Amino acid sequence: LLWMQLRHSPYNFIVILDTNAHTQEKKLLYMSWLNKLESQFPELGLSVGTGGGSSSLISLTNGGISTWTSGMSQNPGTSHMVSGVLISERPKWMEGRSQTVLRSLLPSLPDLPTTLVVDESTAMGQEAFYYDWLKVVGGAKPQWTPIFLSWYMSREYQAPLEKEWESVDQIGRAHV
């Protein structure tokens, strides 16, 4: 979404995370990325502003606005048009909440090539995330393009091997 915001001006998006604390943590991380870009690439003419420390909005000089909220908020939405949405950890939201938010938010998205919706989560099976995934992957008329990324692809879940290991293919089936 950051790339879209820098490349397509103005590009507005909303981030809806599972809890208020997680939302604030990721908003601060996003702000740090923006500040690094601002200092390392002054030719972008990027300037970052917020409506105050607790504001849910981050605005850029190119006109882009990002809204940060949680699925636990009274009204997790936005009053301005958005072209991008990041929804995170829906199974951890209050029961019934994700469907309410999705029914409210998704129909308002423009049908444009720059519209982007990222719905990422651990598939805990709650709030229809897993079933939505199966419907899309299982051949139902796809509304979304599913992309599955395994948790072990992330460096934070990797560790170096203490000794050299051989794969099953190297050992051969006779030894297995």
User: Residue 10 is encoded by which pair of tokens?
Assistant: 């103005």
pLDDT averaged over every residue in the chain: 76
DSSP code of residue 116: E
- The pLDDT of 75-97, averaged and rounded, is 78
Model pLDDT for residues 40-58, shown as the tens digit of each residue: 988 877 777 765 445 688 8
- Please check the confidence at residue 176 and state whether its pLDDT lies above 50: no
| 87 closest CA partner among 114, 64, 109, 60 | 109
**Position 93, amino acid:** W
pTM above 0.85, yes or no: no
- Please check the confidence at residue 38 and state whether its pLDDT lies above 80: yes
- The pLDDT of 155-173, averaged and rounded, is 69
The predicted pLDDT at position 103 comes to 78
The predicted pLDDT at position 43 comes to 80
Collapse the DSSP code of 24 into the 3-class scheme (helix H, G, I; strand E, B; otherwise coil) and give the result: helix
